[in-house]
Amino acid sequence: MKYISTRGRIDPVGFQEAVMTGLARDGGLLIPQSIPRVTDRLDQWRRLTYVELAVEIMALFADLERAELDPLVRRSYVSFASPEVTPVVRVGPVHILELFHGPTLAFKDVALQLLGNLFEHVLRRTGGELNILAATSGDTGSAAIHGVRGRDHMQIFVLHPAGRVSPLQERQMTTVLDANVHNLALTGSFDDCQAIVKMLFNDLEFRDRYALGSVNSINWARILAQMVYYFYATFRVQDATGAARVRFAVPTGNFGDIFAGYLAARMGLPIGRLVLATNENDILSRFFATGEYRKGPVRLTLSPSMDIQVASNFERYLYYRGGESARQVNTWMDQFSAQGSLTVPLEGGAGVDGLIVGGRGTTEETLAVIRRYQEKEGYLLDPHTAVGVQVGEAHLHPDEPMICLATAHPAKFSEAIVRALGRDIAHHPILDALRNLPTRKENLPADVDAVRAVLVRTLDHRVKPA
């Protein structure tokens, strides 16, 4: 499998190069040249364990021998608390896909434990160095840090918006004191952090000199790893209910998680509907209703990992929505860069896309869902998952069970739980152990030159003279 850019201005690259590259060198996002159809394999795959299924799916996209891929994938999930990795439980009218059993209690672990091992595998083969530059709205940072902390030949620099992640999310990052971990708190929003990362990646001379790599969901391996749990959950729920098709409700900020489901559907997984759930930062839900993608100010909410206006994976979706035309993608992205908006034609009465429907969960609705599920079902939702459940319930179908992605453990957002329930019941020993640990971070303005200076100061002694 080779990989091309959504903007069509690079030669195709292999999987390992795509993993190490992150953002395409023409500023686009890397995607596979083709999406394999797997309908004839689904009955065989449904009998596999999570790890076995992951190997089968990843083998379709990765230029690794099975003897390399199998142990790499197994190592990636050995630290998960559940033997199923991503178990599914029935809760009231929905099925909850629990994605928070990894070392940092968030869905990002599913991809980032794998990505850390992929990086290490390639660096051992090439003898190179990798300096990871990442932006986080909360969970990506801690998951990425825990995926690469202490590894040889890797440094990681994580940009987070100061005061706009939960206190526990910040502590998960800043209490990691390994020498190869650098936390940068920027005055601004996640979108500011993400824009700085993209600016530095698009400075090709700087990017090459300092061997920059990405763990954000612009990295194709993130999407690939997330595709697996759509298959796994579909099989589990089909086995339990006998349903021919299922639906997924996905709390969404950067569009990576739901895009993985979109590709799984293109591969032939029987998904009846993907329900995109946003909080008050509803640029994506508005888009799928109206066809207009218009940037606005970032609003602070109870679900900070979704407090995003510019979704970095949206360009991948536009490539397929535009008929796999790089020319059309460039037209749309130029329009968005110049005007802060773009418009896609509607598909008759089906909105923008017959598979994806959007919805919005407000703060008060989020709190009400957390209360209702705790009181009626005895199940505690984190605020991001609650947004997904709120919107997902509006799209229930009698013949297509709804699977709601639980993207984080509720203990990561204990302040929201206290606000919803009036009592502090969201705890986890991993998080409780962080409360009195020392922390380390550097405060910076949201300025690309300030971040560039930190990288130069830290890495100059590690790079060869130009």
Residue-level pLDDT at 180: 96
120 lies in a domain? no
Beta strands in 72-123 (DSSP E): 88-91, 94-98
270 lies in a domain? yes
Exposure string for 443-458, b = 16+ CB within 10 A, e = fewer: ebebebeebbeebeee
Residue-level pLDDT at 349: 67
Convert the pLDDT of each residue in 170-181 to its tens digit. Answer: 999 999 999 999
239 lies in a domain? yes
CATH classification of the domain holding 302: 3.40.50.1100
Beta bridge pairs of residue 3: 13, 32
Residue-level pLDDT at 461: 76
Residue-level pLDDT at 351: 78
28 lies in a domain? no
Beta bridge pairs of residue 356: 274
User: 138 — phi, psi (to 5°)?
Assistant: 150, -65
Q: Which residues of the chain have pLDDT under 70?
A: 348-350, 462-466
449 lies in a domain? no
Convert the pLDDT of each residue in 322-369 to its tens digit. Answer: 999 999 999 999 999 999 999 999 876 667 999 999 999 999 999 999
Burial class (CB in 10 A: 0-12, 13-18, 19+), 466: exposed
How is residue 107 written in tokens?
A: 């869905």
332 lies in a domain? yes
121 lies in a domain? no
How is residue 290 written in tokens?
A: 């109206």
57 in helix, strand or coil? helix
Residue-level pLDDT at 383: 97
Q: What is the pTM of this model?
A: 0.94
Sequential DSSP letters for 284-335: HHHHHHHSEEE--PPPP-S-GGG--SS-TTHHHHHHHHTTS-HHHHHHHHHH
308 lies in a domain? yes
How is residue 35 written in tokens?
A: 């999406």
Residue-level pLDDT at 465: 53
Residue 145 to residue 140: CA distance in whole angstroms: 8
* Number of independent structural domains in the chain: 1
What's the domain range around 255?
88-105+221-428
Residues annotated catalytic, as ranges: 108
